[in-house]
Amino acid sequence: MKDHHSLTAARWLLRGVFWLNISSAIGFAAFMLFSVFGHAMLADHLARKYAGRLDVDTLIVAMRLLFVIGLAAVAVAWVIITRLLAMIATVTAGDPFVTPNARRLHEIGWALVGWQLLDLAGGVIITWIGRMGADVTGWTPSLAGWVVTLLVFVLARVFAAGTTMRDDLQGTV
Amino acid sequence: MAVVVRLDELLHARRMTLTELSAAVDITLANLSVLKTGKARAIRFSTLEAICRVLDCQPGDLLAVEGAPQADNGQEEP
């Protein structure tokens, strides 16, 4: 029963994250549109804030690049969340050791690779913005993220092997 | 070539039903049915031993390779 409760909790949490992700996509898209259609207002605000210490147009280009990375991250997160929800559904149904779950885990691994690459790209842009003299939060490369990505690929392989063994065992009398 | 299971013939020869065999070897009827209909992908030695013991036969009586040429093992027939 305890496992059942943890699965229910995970499902609700993932559903929450799913909608948070959608909200983030809307937010990034809104910022992007504002940077295009409200360019003059944004440029004026930034020019006043930094008082000519940096090139505002270049800063806006860098911000747009960050929004694009944010939107790509939303797509990657969507892949991870939907695959996890599908995997939890198979656990609830009582048959999780199936080939589609091995494939889903593999897809999550690739999504994490994408996530890490986006993180690197984001880091480059944040460093660039910092060197312009604008206020940015710091960025450090995530070694743990790459280790987790590798772990997911290994687990996906283990899962695939286990599923094949289970299939063999099912036909054994 | 395919391995065929001759459980049906053996049961018929022993005047035994699959249900009786299931009770005797302590293997579920569903699993024995899978074996009888040739849908099994593998058979455990323990299953083979139990069936052979109850039906008083050899594994070769239960399993055969269909379409295989007769093996010449070099032994002379008595």
Encode pLDDT of B40-63 as tens digits: 889 999 999 999 999 999 999 999
The pLDDT score that the predictor gives to residue B5 is 93
- Count A/B contacts: CB-CB distance under 8 Å: 23
The pLDDT score that the predictor gives to residue B75 is 47
The predicted-structure confidence for B11-49, as pLDDT tens digits, reads as follows 999 999 999 999 999 999 999 999 999 888 899 999 999
State how far Cα A54 lies from the chain centre: 31
The C-alpha atoms of residue B34 and residue B28 are separated, in whole angstroms, by 10
The predicted-structure confidence for A112-157, as pLDDT tens digits, reads as follows 999 999 999 999 999 999 988 888 888 888 899 999 999 999 999 9
Break chain A into its structural domains and give their ranges. 2-170
Please compute, for residue B30, the number of CA atoms within 13 A of its CA located in the half-sphere on the CB side.
3
Q: pLDDT-derived band of residue B74, with 50, 70 and 90 as boundaries?
A: very low
Given a cut of 70, whether residue B77 has pLDDT beyond it is no
Given a cut of 60, whether residue B72 has pLDDT beyond it is no
Residue of B nearest to A168 (CA): B41
Q: pLDDT-derived band of residue B70, with 50, 70 and 90 as boundaries?
A: low
Please report residues of A whose CB lies closer than 8 A to that of B32.
173
CB A110 within 8 A of CB A153: no
Q: Over chain B, what is the mean pLDDT?
A: 86
Domains and CATH numbers, chain B: 2-66 (1.10.260.40)
Residue B47 token pair: 């299953």
Helix, strand or coil, per DSSP, at residue A121: helix
Q: ipTM value of the model? A: 0.71
Question: In Å, what is the CA distance from A151 to each residue of A50, A77, A87, A166, A169?
Answer: 44, 18, 17, 22, 26
The pLDDT score that the predictor gives to residue A3 is 61
The C-alpha atoms of residue B36 and residue B48 are separated, in whole angstroms, by 13
Q: pLDDT-derived band of residue B1, with 50, 70 and 90 as boundaries?
A: low
Axis-axis angle for helices A56-93, A2-37 (nearest 10): 160
Name residue A125's amino acid.
I
Cβ-defined contact of A172 to B39 (cutoff 8 Å): no
From the list B32, B40, B47, the residue facing A171 with the nearest CB is B40
Find residues 111-170 of chain A whose CB sits inside 8 Å of chain B.
168, 170
Residue of A nearest to B33 (CA): A173
Cβ-defined contact of B35 to A171 (cutoff 8 Å): no
CB A141 within 8 A of CB A123: yes
For chain A, which residues score pLDDT lower than 70?
1-3
